[in-house]
Amino acid sequence: MTDRPLPHPPTTGGPAAVVTDLTVDRGRVRALDSVSLSVPTGAITVLLGPNGSGKSTLLNVLLGTVSPTTGSVRVLGAPVRRALRTGLVAAVPQSDALDERFPVTAAEVVMQGRRRFTGPWRRPSALDRLAVDESLDRVGLADVAGRRVGELSGGQRRRVLLARCLAQEAALLLLDEPFNGMDAGSEEVYVDVLRELAASGRTAVVSTHHLATVDRLADSVALLNGCLIAHGPVAETTTPQILSTLLGARLPDPADRPAATEGALS
Ligand SMILES: Nc1ncnc2c1ncn2[C@@H]1O[C@H](COP(=O)(O)OP(=O)(O)O)[C@@H](O)[C@H]1O
Ligand SMILES: [Mg+2]
């Protein structure tokens, strides 16, 4: 695998995203209620909460696909739409966005991440091809570059989508439930790549309703259940007491902490 260090992204010096008093009504449902959250740059923030707790809603607000009912949101120091125009925000939605029947190869999907460099019509340069090869290599998929994504496992497809974010050289990654249905091997690679990204100054916001991997992955955890229950270091926010009281999660004995990571909040 490639061991060239990732280049540092441009940074505003402040937090990667700031959400202030955000309330979002979706139809008749209040999905988020007065949420205020600052997402630190160069770190991994995990949004942890049961199904329906507003994780996807929050990510979609950061991505501009869901509008706040009230409150304000700034991304990379700018209003959401302006931040998106920079091409520095990359996202992987909750449902696998790859159509299995579409005859597109892994390398072609990753090349989509280069659009902000090539534009929609220009042919990819040698540099773009190199970036695609390196990105696939980083997620351990160099050997399947030419394969159709429909032939890949679910975990491999998610790694392809992560490679697309890498090729985009995004400063902020918004990843919605990337570990759902992922095999252990893919998960390990995925977490390693995200940690490497954070070490290079990039920021990731990763939602999950599984406790699995939170210990290894997160710099901080934002516990959501419609409102923000807590935000802080893993050890302070994922204590069995907080989780079981506030989220109604069924947790194994605290002495079995590794086993606890198997649990899901649902
Ligand atoms: N498109 C939608 N229309 C109406 N309600 C929605 C929509 N999407 C989500 N909701 C509701 O908003 C709440 C939060 O959902 P969501 O953000 O998807 O939670 P999570 O990602 O944590 O499972 C839930 O009550 C859900 O039913
Ligand atoms: Mg969701």
**248 band by pLDDT with thresholds 50, 70 and 90:** low
**45 band by pLDDT with thresholds 50, 70 and 90:** very high
109: domain range?
96-169
Ligand closest to 66 (CA) is 1
Q: In this structure, are 259 and 175 located in the same domain?
A: yes
* Structural tokens at position 240: 């069995």
Looking at the domain assignment, is residue 143 inside a domain? yes
Atom of ligand 1 nearest to the CA of 50: 22
Q: In this structure, are 257 and 134 located in the same domain?
A: no
Atom of ligand 1 nearest to the CA of 226: 14
Q: In this structure, are 228 and 119 located in the same domain?
A: no
Looking at the domain assignment, is residue 2 inside a domain? no
Q: In this structure, are 78 and 108 located in the same domain?
A: no
The rounded Å distance from CA 119 to ligand 2 centre is 31
Whether the CB of 53 sits within 6 Å of ligand 1? yes
Domain count of the fold of the chain: 2
Q: In this structure, are 69 and 176 located in the same domain?
A: yes
* Structural tokens at position 110: 């990753």
Pairing of the two strands 172-176 and 70-75? unpaired
Find the range with the poorest average confidence among 4-8, 118-122, 170-174. Answer: 4-8
Whether the CB of 26 sits within 6 Å of ligand 1? yes
Averaged pLDDT for residues 19-42: 96
Residue pair 249/243 in contact (Cβ under 8 Å)? The answer is yes
Looking at the domain assignment, is residue 46 inside a domain? yes
The rounded Å distance from CA 111 to ligand 2 centre is 27
Q: Output the pLDDT for position 122.
A: 79
**What CATH number is attached to the domain comprising 65?**
3.40.50.300
Tokens 């390990």 belong to 188
The rounded Å distance from CA 97 to ligand 1 centre is 18
Atom of ligand 1 nearest to the CA of 60: 17
User: Closest by alpha carbon to 222, among 212, 204, 234, 213?
Assistant: 234
Ligand closest to 49 (CA) is 1
Pairing of the two strands 44-48 and 89-92? unpaired
Looking at the domain assignment, is residue 200 inside a domain? yes
Q: In this structure, are 250 and 177 located in the same domain?
A: yes
Residue after which a domain boundary falls, among 169, 195, 216: 169
Residue after which a domain boundary falls, among 169, 184, 210: 169
Cα radius of gyration (the chain): 18
Atom of ligand 1 nearest to the CA of 59: 17
Q: In this structure, are 258 and 133 located in the same domain?
A: no
Dist. CA 256–CA 52, nearest whole Å? 27
Instruction: Identify the residue whose C-alpha is closest to ligand 1 atom 1.
Output: 26
Whether the CB of 85 sits within 6 Å of ligand 1? no
Whether the CB of 13 sits within 6 Å of ligand 1? no
Q: In this structure, are 107 and 129 located in the same domain?
A: yes
The rounded Å distance from CA 12 to ligand 2 centre is 29
| Between 250 and 135, residue with greater pLDDT | 135
Atom of ligand 1 nearest to the CA of 57: 17
Ligand closest to 50 (CA) is 1
Looking at the domain assignment, is residue 117 inside a domain? yes
Strand partners, 207: 47, 176
Whether the CB of 55 sits within 6 Å of ligand 1? yes
Averaged pLDDT for residues 12-33: 94
Q: In this structure, are 75 and 184 located in the same domain?
A: yes
**135 band by pLDDT with thresholds 50, 70 and 90:** very high
Q: Output the pLDDT for position 50.
A: 87
Whether the CB of 54 sits within 6 Å of ligand 1? yes
Residue pair 69/28 in contact (Cβ under 8 Å)? The answer is no
Q: In this structure, are 187 and 67 located in the same domain?
A: yes
Find the range with the poorest average confidence among 49-53, 133-137, 151-155, 239-243. Answer: 239-243
Residue pair 99/122 in contact (Cβ under 8 Å)? The answer is no
Residue 256 has pLDDT above 50, yes or no: no
Q: Tens digits of per-residue pLDDT, 61-106?
A: 999 999 999 999 999 999 999 999 999 999 998 876 566 667 899 9
Q: In this structure, are 241 and 127 located in the same domain?
A: no
Dist. CA 135–CA 180, nearest whole Å? 22
Whether the CB of 205 sits within 6 Å of ligand 1? no
- Whether the model clears a pTM of 0.85, i.e. scores above it, the answer is yes
Q: In this structure, are 110 and 133 located in the same domain?
A: yes
